[in-house]
Homo-oligomer: A and B are copies of this chain.
């Protein structure tokens, strides 16, 4: 297994410790429950936003904890939902008079533990709102989900709700906002290679040297089709058509365009892909007013990417532009 790891059983804990060591003044953590949280939260003047899904998608979700983003995250093991008690403890820790917002990507495991934790926390008198993210147009249901999966579009829900929460929005307003953002964002991904969870030690699926998986899920779930390798522009065309025709996006729409790396795809290739996606937007009459190229929701070291389009308006653009801070620095 070609990975940087010590004991695979400590992979998530040691990664989290690294994040906390790199952000000693801003983040705290509770190793027992895999919780990383803002040192200045909870705050009774703000709704606390939490997320807890499988690890292996970094920077989602533990590296998105910060001002104007998540208040806390409580990941499970690689590609595994967190135990219910992690979510329950995280919810109690982040309890605020204004409430706690659960942002959940649509996977059965995640939904189940968040449902149970919500019931228990509500019995404790905590006010909870829930937003389900399901932006992946690839398949209508898959091995891990009933209904569409939540993938890179999650970033926009976090960013918009995080900004609004910082400005004092109520829990009800945030639920409405989160659902509204989710309703205008669409994504589809693909992969050239598989990836290897540390504790498994072998790739989660096999793929030929001349093959790619179109519509893949972020845990390697099958997509729409296995295909022979194709030029970058042809790959973009297929994902773009699937995403653009789904909402559908229309001529004159102001959009955000994201090319999200799956973890093993270098910046050079992501920008080469962005080029064709931006040209396609021009051809269709979509005005790209915000762009995002980088690693937002990954699958360990997988070589691949997803393409996301989001329909923007003045209100949403202001929220996406609001100050925010995450534990990852570029310079």
Contact = CB atoms under 8 A, between A and B. Distances in A.
Interface of A: 2-6, 11, 14-19, 21-22, 55-56, 58-59, 63-64, 69, 155, 159, 192-193, 209, 229, 231-233, 235, 263-275, 278-279, 291-296, 298, 300-301, 303, 305, 324, 326, 328-331
Contacts of A278: 18, 21-22
A265 B4 contact: yes
A6 to B, nearest CB: 5
A263 B262 CA distance: 12
A296 B329 CA distance: 11
A2 B191 CA distance: 10
Nearest to A281: B21
Contact of A15 (B3, B155, B275): B275
Given A266-B58, A301-B303, A19 B271 contact: yes
B267 A59 contact: yes
A29 to B, nearest CB: 12
Contacts of A192: 2-4
Contacts of A21: 274-275, 278-279
B22 A271 contact: yes
